[in-house]
Amino acid sequence: MHPGDSRPHLFWQLRTRKLALGQRTLLMAILNLTPDSFSGDGLLGGEERLQGHAPHPLDPGPKALERAVAAAVKAVDAGADIVDLGAESTRPQATPVSSKQEQARILPVLDRLLRERPDAVVSVDTYHAATAQAAARHGAEIINDVSGLQWDPLMPQAVAQSGCGLVLMHTRGRPGEWGSLPKLHSHQLVPLVLEGLCERLAQAEAAGIRSQRMVIDPGLGFGKRGRENFDLLAGLGRLHALGRPLLVGLSRKSFLGEVVHPLQSGAATIREARRIATVAGNVTAILAGAHILRVHDLQDGREAAAVADAVLERRLEPRAAAES
C-alpha cells in the first residue's frame, strides 16, 4: 500500500466466488429476521403477532416469510452487493435465540432468495457453528460472526470447513455486559481493537481459515461506549496495518444518536433521528478506507458511497499523474 492511498485494493475469497475490494465501496444490506431489532426494522414482527396469532417460535409464519423474502429480493434489485441475514438482535436486553430457532428464521429466506436471485451474495449473521454450517449448505457465501469466533468453540472449525468468507468482528464482552464495562481513554481504544483483531486473525488462520477469506470489522458499538466509538472511527485507518479489507457497520447506532439528539426537536423514529448522522458516519468511514458498509438504508448508503468514492478517486489522480 502506497502511503498516499487511503484504501488498499484487495480481494475477498468467498465460498464460490471472489470479490474485488477497494475500487468502489461495496454495500451489505441488513435484513433483520427478528421481532425485536434495536431500530424497529425486524421483519418477523408482522401481522400474525399483531393480530394475536403469533406462530410457534420455530415458525416465522407465512406472511412474515413472504415479507422477508420480498425485502431481500428488493435489496438485491436495488444494488446491494451483499445481503446480510440475521436472526438474533444484539441489543443488550434482547432475548437470546437458539441455533435451531435461528435456522428456522434464516434458512427459508435464504432458500427462497437464492431461488429467485441465484447470483445474490448472501451473508449470514451468526455466532452459532451449527447455523454457519447449515447456511453454507444452503448457499450462503459469507459468515458474519459478531463474536469474532469467541462465543462458540466450534465456530472456527465450522467456518474453515464451510469455505465461506468470514467477517471477523471485534467485541468487548457480551451485550449484557456492555453497560458495565470500564471506560477507555481516547488513546486506548484503537490499540485495543488492533490487538484483539490480530489475535482473532491468528486464531482463525490456526483453524485453517485462509487470510484471503477474512474481512475485519472494528465492531462499532460492540463493547465501545458512547463517544469511544468516535475515537475508533477517527483511528479507523490504522486498522489497515492488519492487511485485510475493512467492513464498517455504524448504521443507526446509539453513539450517533447521542451527538445529534440535542440538535433535534420533537419525536422521531430511530430510523429518522439517526438517518443523516448515519450518512455522515458512512462517508467518514469510507474516507478512512472502509471497503464495505453494512447499512439499513440502501439508497442512502449508495449515495454516501458515490460521493466518498469520488473524493478517494480524486485523491489518487495527482499521484497517478506524477508517476506517469
Per-residue pLDDT tens for 97-118?
899 999 999 999 999 999 999 9
Q: Amino acid identity, residue 283?
A: V
Catalytic annotation present for 15: no
Would you say residue 36 has pLDDT above 80? Answer: no
Per-residue CA distances from 285 to 174, 212, 216, 238, 243 (Å): 25, 22, 14, 12, 17
Q: What was the pLDDT predicted at 38?
A: 46
Stretch among 31-45, 88-102, 234-248 having the lowest mean pLDDT: 31-45
Q: Amino acid identity, residue 228?
A: E
Long-range pairs for 236-241 at CB < 8 Å and ≥24 separation? 236/285, 236/288, 236/289, 236/290, 237/6, 237/288, 237/289, 238/190, 238/194, 239/190, 239/193, 239/194, 239/197, 239/289, 240/1, 240/8, 240/289, 241/194
Catalytic annotation present for 253: yes
Q: Where are the beta strands (DSSP E) in the chain?
A: 10-13, 18-21, 26-32, 82-86, 122-125, 142-145, 165-169, 214-217, 247-248, 292-295
Give CA–CA dist 193/248, Å, rounded: 13
Q: What was the pLDDT predicted at 20?
A: 97
Q: What was the pLDDT predicted at 316?
A: 76
Among candidate residues 213, 224, 253, 275, the one labeled active-site is: 253
Query: Which residues does residue 19 pair with via DSSP β-bridges, in sequence order?
Result: 12
Whole-structure pTM value: 0.91
- The grid coordinates of residue 260 equal 445529534
Percent of the chain with pLDDT over 90: 77
Closest CA to 27 of 204, 278, 206: 278
User: Please, what is the average pLDDT of the chain?
Assistant: 90
Stretch among 53-62, 147-156, 167-176, 185-194 having the lowest mean pLDDT: 53-62
Per-residue CA distances from 72 to 37, 119, 209 (Å): 16, 13, 28
**pLDDT tier, 59 (very low <50, low <70, confident <90, very high otherwise):** low
DSSP string, 242-267: G-S-BEE--TT-HHHHHHHGGG--S-
**pLDDT tier, 50 (very low <50, low <70, confident <90, very high otherwise):** very low
Q: What was the pLDDT predicted at 149?
A: 98
Give CA–CA dist 64/241, Å, rounded: 43
Would you say residue 173 has pLDDT above 60? Answer: yes
The answer to whether 143 touches 126, Cβ cutoff 8 Å, is yes
Among candidate residues 24, 67, 172, 294, the one labeled active-site is: 294
Would you say residue 157 has pLDDT above 60? Answer: yes
Q: What was the pLDDT predicted at 179?
A: 84
Percent of the chain with pLDDT over 70: 87
Q: Within its chain, how far is the Cα of 33 from the centroid? A: 14
- The grid coordinates of residue 312 equal 478517494
Determine the average pLDDT of the residues in 261-277. Answer: 92
Q: Is 34 left (phi over 0), alpha (psi -120 to 50) or beta?
A: beta
Domains (ranges, CATH) in the chain? 10-323 (3.20.20.20)
Stretch among 5-19, 134-148, 295-309 having the lowest mean pLDDT: 5-19
Phi, psi dihedrals of residue 227, rounded to the nearest 5°: -70, -10
